[in-house]
Structure 1
Amino acid sequence: MDIDDHISNRAATSHRRDGGSPPDELNQILRAGSTTGPEIDVFGRAEEEEEGVLDRLTRLWMDERSAPDILLWPGLMVEEVLDKLQAQSEMVEHLQSDPRTSEEEHFRIVLIQTEAERVRYLLRSYLRTRLYKVEKYAAHIIATPDLRGRLSVIELSHAERYQEMLKKHFEVCALNGIPENLRSLTDNEPGVPEMVTRPNLDQPVFVRAKKRCQPVTLTNGSTLEMERGDIHLVRYRAIEHLVRLGDAHLI
């Protein structure tokens, strides 16, 4: 799976936008790049209910990097980010080629391009994090319907091809030379380390409540109540459902 295809393939369908004065178009870019609320504060000191696209992408990136298992693929949001980046790139290109664009406006365009590169870096990091999990847990994901449903079509196809190539590699290197009853790559015998790599759902994570959450039952049987903005260090298994529902975020 080529990560850059998620970003670069928009160029194939791009078109030049004409009309409008440079200052008007520049202001339009600046407004499109802004978010609806203040910058993200992971400690919850200031946060509004409505988040901009960049805010949502940042939170998804933080959740994905901190969660031990793979989370649901946000296809619509990623498409929205890519569309905005493509539209911004086209408009900046038009302004740069317009002789009416002043030196001051060229400087502002540089700032806009810098911000766009920051978003592209964030998106690439997010996709690479998911790709790492897809390859690490490929066999487990393929055998688990719930996890298969969390992947995009491209990710699932990559997981299946990756696992097939890994199986053929093991067969050529070692498995073809041992008895057939010992060639399985998915055996789970008692007292023997598992052959299929699975995420450790008991991994401790820092979690912040986005709103007041339902009481959480911990592994020791005690109950944890989380108010909005509360931060706790707990096992991921206990709060997995809150992260999937969007009621809490990992930090």
Structure 2
Amino acid sequence: MNKNILLTLAGWVFTCAVYAQGQQMLPPASDTEDWSVKPPLVTPGDTYAKAPSDAIVLYGSKKDIVNWEHPDGAPAKWEAHDDALTIVRKATDLQTKQKFGNIQLHLEWKTPDPTEDKSNNRGNSGVFLMGLYELQIYESYNYDTRIYYNGQAGSIYKQHAPLVNAATKPQTWQTYDIVFTAPIFNEDKTLKSPAYMTVFHNNVLIINHAEIKGPMVYQGYPKYEYHEPKLPLRLQEHNSRVSFRNIWVREL
């Protein structure tokens, strides 16, 4: 075989080996997609809720945009109105300036007109507790096979599918009421107890004290690494104009 061809092949093999080592030989993303049990449909009741007197209001009107910033510390660039906070595409995630641990969280969200999102990325966003543990937002009303069950609305992303699908139609306001217990680490920074999450979607219990396996990962398997006991709450920008309103927390 020509010497130059041999050298080219050797270089290609070396490059692939280095790349594989850098990727830590992650399993295919499909390995963590759950298609086993389709959550049954339910019809939710009234979704509106007011903040209790001891709550910290994170977004109630456009003046509350001061509570938010982008992860790099830049001022919030999403569309802020009195009736809603709407994602601006490519403006990156938003996170709270205040840090939280154990909380009760209420927020309302609305997916855009489905014609805006041409691919499977319909109404795609998420709520990241402590900026790490994701409760998925997605347009999942009467869904077909657009997305695996542990990736639809109300899933703890790639970890737990919702018990039922309580989603309403696109462009309707929906609610999440979340009880989140933060993980606890030992003095040597090993995990003492994992995080847990309970979720009501449109007043329907969909996640019941589920143990969280670690921070959200799209590819591979989650695992805990030490972090501070309080971190910002984050809303995900995923190239879909999802809107939010009536966001408040109670520290527990």
TM-score, normalised via structure 2 length: 0.24
- More RCO (CA 8 Å, sep 6+): 2
Q: Which has the larger radius of gyration?
A: 1
TM-score, normalised via structure 1 length: 0.24
Structure 1 or 2: more strand by fraction: 2
Structure 1 or 2: more helix by fraction: 1
